[in-house]
A = this chain, B = another copy of it.
């Protein structure tokens, strides 16, 4: 039996990210799980229009997306509870920079993407920032040979309904492969 959930997104779980930006000349980080992939080179962030970070992204035309790992769950949650207007959240992390001078990234996050703002999609209460990934980074320890192994990334996954963070579970099937047996 199907039950109606109403007219809202049920597209979960989503990876929890820490979005980095330079705001008023300083690095700031904000927790965002309403993210997306626009194509192989571009990502999107849905950010409530009242957030402190939005002006910094617009001003500099840059931001970063850092995949939050399990071990930083408290810091990650905190960065969604407190505004950069009121607290210096960057003090919690070691910041590094890549090619873009205004896209601070978090050393302790296993995967980082520095992005150039490409387009903003205007939603009623949200700015959706679309960024082109200029360079992505991954901790050496998360590789298996030449390939990133997500079971070593230990991302945090978010579901809105039960307001919970989940771990990533086991790898259980190869993509573009396990369905081949139905091709008859």
- A55: chain B residues at CB < 8 Å are none
Closest Cβ neighbor of A81 among chain B residues: B179
The reply to whether B75 and A136 contact each other, CB–CB distance below 8 Å, is no
- A3: chain B residues at CB < 8 Å are 137-140, 143
Q: Is the interface of A mostly helix, strand, loop or mixed?
A: strand
Roughly how many angstroms separate A176 CA and B40 CA in the complex, as a whole number? Answer: 31
The reply to whether A36 and B36 contact each other, CB–CB distance below 8 Å, is yes
Our pick among B14, B81, B177 for the contact of A37 (Cβ within 8 Å) is: B14
Our pick among B46, B96, B143, B169 for the contact of A167 (Cβ within 8 Å) is: B169
Q: How far is the CB of A183 from chain B (nearest CB, A)?
A: 6
Interface residue? A6 (CB, 8 A): yes
The reply to whether B14 and A133 contact each other, CB–CB distance below 8 Å, is no
- A175: chain B residues at CB < 8 Å are 77, 80, 158, 163-165
Closest Cβ neighbor of A96 among chain B residues: B2
Which residues 130-184 of A have a CB within 8 angstroms of B?
130, 132-140, 143-144, 147-151, 155, 157-159, 161-183
Instruction: Please give 13 more A-B residue pairs, beta carbons under 8 A apart, in addition to A8-B41, A11-B17, A148-B159.
Output: A5-B148, A9-B43, A34-B37, A38-B126, A73-B172, A73-B178, A75-B179, A77-B173, A81-B176, A82-B183, A150-B162, A163-B174, A166-B170
Which residue numbers of A lie inside 8 Å of B, CB to CB? 1-15, 17, 33-44, 46, 65, 67, 70, 73-82, 92, 96, 107, 111-113, 119, 121, 123-126, 128, 130, 132-140, 143-144, 147-151, 155, 157-159, 161-183
11 pairs, A vs B, C-beta closer than 8 Å: A5-B136, A11-B37, A13-B157, A14-B15, A36-B37, A80-B175, A81-B179, A149-B161, A150-B159, A157-B157, A162-B171
